[in-house]
Amino acid sequence: MDTDYVAEILKGSPRAISRVISWLENDDPRASGCMEKIYPHTGRAYILGITGSPGSGKSSLTDKLTQKLRSQGLTVGIVAVDPTSPFTGGAILGDRVRMGDIAMDPGVFIRSMATRGYLGGLAQATSNAVKILDAAGKDIILIETVGVGQDEVDIIRIADTVCLVLVPGLGDVIQSMKAGVMEIADVYVINKSDRPGADQLCAEVTHRVAQDVEIRARQWPPPVVQTVATENEGIDEMADAIQAHRSYLEQSNRLIDKRRERTRDETLQMIHYELFRAIKAYLSRDHRMDQLVSDIMERRENPYRLMHRMLKNYLRLPESDISLNAD
Amino acid sequence: MAEKKIKMIVAKPGLDGHDRGAKLLSRIFAEAGMEVIYTGLRQTPEMIVAAAVQEDADVVGLSSLSGVHNYFFPRVVELLREKQMNDVLVVGGGIIPKEDIPGLKQAGVAEIFGPGTNTETIVNFIKENVRK
């Protein structure tokens, strides 16, 4: 069965792509076999992140930018993330509403994805979904994050180029001075630029970029472009800015460095996740964890000592690596 | 393995001018723990089915107010079958005359929920009949 799905994905079959993404979302054991086989076919697509606050126009920009990329003959995969309710576990995934014009284009694949409790602006399965679209032959993969606030910056760990979408009217100049999301952009996009305050925002962001010592130390000075997504204005400029950043990354070898860092982080994260899952599964058997928690609650045991004992017992690594300060 | 969530497309085929009902129902389905992909107004059956394929939807919910259900609803079922997605549950709602319901069901629409249906009834129907 696995080989079928892998072959179908490599041929670009939408059904196979979408089914395996579901397996990833559901932690279905069939997913990892597929991922192993498609991995050699990944690494060719260019990955773009679109982030910004809720309602800033990320979906509309994604729609218009995709049309632009399609006109250049490029195929596009889109992963659009929206939040899961912490109360009901449900989600409204509404990004397709703005993507009507590209919905029927066979050169475009759109997948909506709920965060399912994952923080940082993406879903757990997002990076693997990107790999599937990459292996399926999409030239550009666009990740639209959830509407972010100030601190959801995971997109920089996945995307080659990050576009931060800002809109006028969300705060004074202090907002544009803050840390976090304001620092991560390779391209700043001031959307809804037909609204009052757009020019001022543009000036404020331009100043921030020009004055920020850390940003200035980067070889790439992030451009600030103005758009009105609904009117298809400024999209060419946005696409040009993205292309310029891509050329910079490729010519300076920064792209390789970036992807090397990403591979390292991702690999460590996968090990972390799987180790956690395995130990949790083991401890959940026969009420072991319940017993341990009771011991801790009654102060017969403490979580620090327990943690060290767990690592010692279940990891075969040199003692010096696992027991930092065990008794 | 994580708990499987029900994925549902809510779509309005045809040229209806408003989607208050479809939006309200989307929220009710989300509140029932489903992941609802809302696609908006003026969808063609081809668009709806393309979305169902790409999203790997378990359920497609169609809403129509303008009397085009006899063409659009069966067409969605037919296109899903063409894509070998026979196991996707298709349900409908909106303004559907009673006498049209048997024909729609015969065409493969699992159930039609008219105005005033208790939303719990719809949610339960979906949970009981969705592919496992």
Model confidence at A324: pLDDT above 70: no
Output the pLDDT for position A2: 45
Average of per-residue pLDDT across A66-80? 97
Average of per-residue pLDDT across A195-213? 89
Q: Contacts of residue A22 in chain B, CB cutoff 8 Å?
A: 7, 56
CA-CA distance, A38 to A31, in Å (whole number)?
11
A75-89, A111-125, A162-176, A285-299: the lowest-pLDDT one: A162-176
Q: Best residue in B1, B12, B35, B58 to probe A by mutation, most A CBs within 10 Å?
A: B35
Model confidence at A203: pLDDT above 60: yes
Model confidence at B101: pLDDT above 90: yes
The three state secondary structure string of chain A is CHHHHHHHHHHCCHHHHHHHHHHHHCCCCHHHHHHHHHHHHCCCCEEEEEEECCCCCHHHHHHHHHHHHHHCCCCEEEEEEECCCCCCCCEEECHHHHHHHHCCCCCEEEEEEECCCCCCCCCCCHHHHHHHHHHCCCCEEEEECCCCCCCCCHHHHCCCEEEEEECCCCCCHHHHHCCHHHHCCCEEEECCCCCCCHHHHHHHHHHHHHHCHHHHHCCCCCCEEECEHHHCECHHHHHHHHHHHHHHHHHCCHHHHHHHHHHHHHHHHHHHHHHHHHHHHHHHHHHHHHHHHHHHHCCCCCHHHHHHHHHHHHCCCCHHHHCCCCC
Is B54 in contact with A18 (Cβ distance < 8 A)? Answer: yes
CA-CA distance, A28 to A45, in Å (whole number)?
25
For A267-314, write each residue's pLDDT tens digit: 998 899 888 888 888 888 888 899 999 999 999 999 999 988 888 888
Count H helices and E strands in chain B, helices first. 5, 5
A-proximal residues of B, 80-99, CB under 8 Å: 83-85
Average of per-residue pLDDT across A95-119? 92
Categorize the per-residue pLDDT at A45 as very low, low, confident or very high, splitting at 50, 70 and 90: very high
A14 touches chain B (CB under 8 A): yes
In 3D, which of A38, A29, A40 has the Cα closest to residue A9? A38
- For B33, which of A21, A29, A88 is closest by C-beta distance? A88
Model confidence at B4: pLDDT above 80: yes
Output the pLDDT for position A24: 95
The C-alpha of A82 sits at a distance from chain B's nearest C-alpha, in angstroms, of 10
- Percentage of residues in chain A with pLDDT exceeding 90? 66
Q: How many CB atoms lie within 10 A of CB A172?
A: 9
Model confidence at A326: pLDDT above 50: no
Q: Which top CATH class is B7-127? A: alpha beta
Q: Contacts of residue B36 in chain A, CB cutoff 8 Å?
A: 90-93
Output the pLDDT for position A179: 63
Average of per-residue pLDDT across A198-208? 90
Q: Contacts of residue B44 in chain A, CB cutoff 8 Å?
A: 104
pTM: 0.91
- Work out the angle at residue A106's Cα, subtended by the Cα atoms of residues A105 and A112, and round it to the nearest 5 degrees: 75
Instruction: Give bridge partners of residue A187 from the DSSP assignment.
Output: A163
Model confidence at B114: pLDDT above 60: yes
- Work out the angle at residue A65's Cα, subtended by the Cα atoms of residues A127 and A91, and round it to the nearest 5 degrees: 50
A194-198, A323-327, B42-46: the lowest-pLDDT one: A323-327
Output the pLDDT for position A279: 86
The SS3 call for residue B38 is: strand
* Type of residue at A26: N
Cα–Cα distances in angstroms (integers) from residue B35 to residues A83, A220, A287, B6, B32, in the given order: 10, 39, 32, 6, 9
The SS3 call for residue B31 is: helix
Average of per-residue pLDDT across A186-200? 94
Is B31 in contact with A85 (Cβ distance < 8 A)? Answer: yes
Model confidence at A247: pLDDT above 70: yes
Average of per-residue pLDDT across A195-214? 88
A144 touches chain B (CB under 8 A): no
For B50-66, write each residue's pLDDT tens digit: 999 999 999 999 999 98
B131 touches chain A (CB under 8 A): no
Instruction: Return the domain boundaries, chain B.
Output: 7-127
Report which of residues A22 and A120 the model is more confident about.
Answer: A22
Output the pLDDT for position A327: 43
Longest CA span, chain A: 68
CA-CA distance, A82 to A91, in Å (whole number)?
7
Q: What is the mean pLDDT of chain A?
A: 90
Nearest CA in chain A to B2: A26
The CATH number corresponding to A42-252 among 3.40.50.150, 3.30.70.2520, 3.30.70.20, 3.40.50.300 equals: 3.40.50.300
| Torsion over CA: B66, B68, B73, B79 (sign) | negative
Instruction: Return the domain boundaries, chain A.
Output: 1-40, 42-252, 261-322
Output the pLDDT for position A175: 67
| Torsion over CA: B99, B102, B104, B107 (sign) | negative
- Work out the angle at residue A165's Cα, subtended by the Cα atoms of residues A213 and A94, and round it to the nearest 5 degrees: 150
Output the pLDDT for position A1: 47
B61 touches chain A (CB under 8 A): no
Q: Best residue in A112, A118, A128, A284 to probe B by mutation, most B CBs within 10 Å?
A: A112
Output the pLDDT for position A226: 97
| Torsion over CA: A120, A126, A127, A130 (sign) | negative
Average of per-residue pLDDT across A38-62? 95
CA-CA distance, A56 to A47, in Å (whole number)?
21
Q: Supply the DSSP symbol for B13.
A: B
Average of per-residue pLDDT across A103-132? 93
For A134-180, write each residue's pLDDT tens digit: 999 999 999 999 888 777 788 988 999 999 999 998 766 666 666 67
Is B51 in contact with A15 (Cβ distance < 8 A)? Answer: no
CA-CA distance, B101 to A9, in Å (whole number)?
39
Instruction: Give bridge partners of residue A76 from the DSSP assignment.
Output: A108, A140
Model confidence at A119: pLDDT above 90: no
- For A93, which of B33, B38, B42 is closest by C-beta distance? B38
A117 touches chain B (CB under 8 A): no
Instruction: Determine the straight-line distance between the first and last CA of chain B, rounded to whole angstroms.
Output: 14
Average of per-residue pLDDT across A246-266? 95
Q: What is the CA radius of gyration of chain B?
A: 13
A15-24, A159-168, A179-188: the lowest-pLDDT one: A179-188
In 3D, which of A211, A176, A210 has the Cα closest to residue A190? A176
Is B35 in contact with A29 (Cβ distance < 8 A)? Answer: no
Q: Contacts of residue B3 in chain A, CB cutoff 8 Å?
A: 26
Q: Contacts of residue B53 in chain A, CB cutoff 8 Å?
A: 14-15, 18
**Pairs of CB atoms within 8 A across A/B:** 92
Instruction: Determine the straight-line distance between the first and last CA of chain A, rounded to whole angstroms.
Output: 50
Instruction: Give bridge partners of residue A151 from the DSSP assignment.
Output: none
Q: Contacts of residue B46 in chain A, CB cutoff 8 Å?
A: 104
Find all residues with CB under 8 Å of B121, minimum gap 6, and list them.
B113
Model confidence at B25: pLDDT above 60: yes
Q: Best residue in B23, B39, B85 to probe A by mutation, most A CBs within 10 Å?
A: B39
Q: What share of chain B is helix, strand, coil (3-state, %, to 5)?
A: 45, 20, 35
* Type of residue at B57: A
